[in-house]
Structure 1
Amino acid sequence: VTVQPMITLEGYELIVGSFCDPQFGPVLLFGSGGRLVEVQRDTALALPPLTTTLARRLLERTRIFAALQHGASGLPSVDLATLERLLVRFSLLVVEQPLIRECDINPVLAAGGHLLALDARIVLHSPDVPETALPRPAIRPYPSHYIGSWQLPDGTPVTIRPIRPEDEPLMVRFHERLSERSVYLRWLHVLGLSQRIAHERLVDRCFIDYDREMALVVISREEASGTGTETLLGIGRLIKLPGGEEAEFALLIADQVQGQGLGTELLRRLMEIARQEGLQRLQGRMLPENQAMLRICRKLGFQLTYHPEEQLMQATFLLREGSELIKGHP
């Protein structure tokens, strides 16, 4: 016998669940729950993992969202931030536990700032299913294993990690401080600030498919002021080309930390990521006057070739199995 307290809170009955689709793998479900969930048919679907932004979009696609946001039938509104966190954490559970075939939390009672799971059901895949045959998420989870730390020559600690969708404000401030020369050397032509910080452009740069590209950002945190303000000091990008065996790289370093080894460290890490991702060839293009970038490429063993028709230098590195990619640079 299980004895539990009777819940007397009045609130909205919701459903949070997941199931496996033959094509897309794990799929998330959210909407109006309770006994009439199949009658009301007020649910929306999303692919895991979720960010808080994606969780809000999932909420907004249901009819009950208006009641959750403003209140209805004498019930108060719901703390949407708490509900978003629930959806994000549930999506991480589904991604991190591939043995889950189905999962329903129904109903989730939402009352003001309270969320209570009143009933739940989890169905696992058969133990006979090999791990390699378990459904995988259609969207690759955040690659947290690529997060690392480093130090600038003056001892300033920085974090080097894959970019996140919420890095857009950091990207805006980063671009506001770039010199025209740095912009020209990166994009091979003049690109105005308004173009570089346009929301549509930055969303495309920050919210990426980690299966198709990888972007590493360098973040420093100012603790001396007590605010813990983060500053973006550089970004390195790896874009896989059609065929899946080679990729292009590009670097952009803040003017105030250029010449301090940060570009070398970023490219070194991109090379290691390319090797772990199973790529065979890494290449990048740059202007002949970009001497700093050329020195970095020579230092890391890239082969440099000048293409007179494009008036550009091409740096190429072959990623051979078992080779020491970055000898002398631990």
Structure 2
Amino acid sequence: MHELVERLLKGDKRAAARAITHIENDTQEKKEILKDIHPHTGRAYLVGLTGSPGAGKSSLTDRLISLLRKMGKTVGIIAVDPTSPFTGGAILGDRVRMGKHALDPGVFIRSMGTRGSLGGLAKATREAVRVLDAFGSDVIFIETVGVGQSELDIMHVADTTVVVLHPSAGDHIQSMKAGIMEIADIFVVNKADLPGADKTVQAVNHMLDLVHDFEFRPPVLKVASRDNMGIKELWCECERHLAFLKESGRLANKRQKQRQDEILSIIDAEIGRKIKSLIQADPKWATTLSDVEEGRTDPYEVADIVLRRLLKV
């Protein structure tokens, strides 16, 4: 694994792909890889793109890749897709809309199946981002699965969250604002060459007008990926938001919070594994379940007993 990490740090695409595969499959080598790359992370700018299906997230990402490559920046993409019920892989694993970048040495594209995870991301997304960061990507785009307004996990991973809407979303803004609409740093009305774009922009701005305590008011941009309209403006707003995060100290605080969440998530997963192992090895577990079913004890009391045994408190 040390040799694999050395190749990854030198920009070897195959090594990066293998490292992410270890992470997705939760192999024994995963911890060693993540430990070795940790000192080389924290340099990339993380941009999340979320929104409902059909909003054009992949096409938008494709245009941003082209722009950034012209600027000389290296780009990583983690695209989270629905999971195939037959193979367990990402249904749109070929990333058709980004195919022209596949052979570009400065671009790394990886599709990940959700594998049952909710919130728009796969369980391994955060760790895969670490790999692309260590790999040397200047900018990493994280595209969520596209399941609706519950995709809120992206705000805990990305530095800047871009919510992508389509022109017909104008009538639904009010119903959406309790969920995905509240996590945006930038709003993009994509396919702005279609009717309804101005109405959607107006609806989003009206929603934002109801909030008066913005330190950074999310801009609302009209973009047409097909015509490359508004792509430069979108990237300028991303850079403006990043500058705001750095100058205000929010970037450091945000990343510290992300590290804390990551550590707690790891602890939670490890405790879960140990508890399952403890239960499976306990010959009295079947009796305990019977006691719960027959009312001699309750699930909360059993859970407390198991936790005390595990944590020895």
Pick the structure with greater CA Rg.
1
TM-score, normalising length: structure 2: 0.27
Greater share of residues in strand: 1
Higher relative contact order structure (alpha carbons within 8 Å, sequence separation ≥ 6): 2
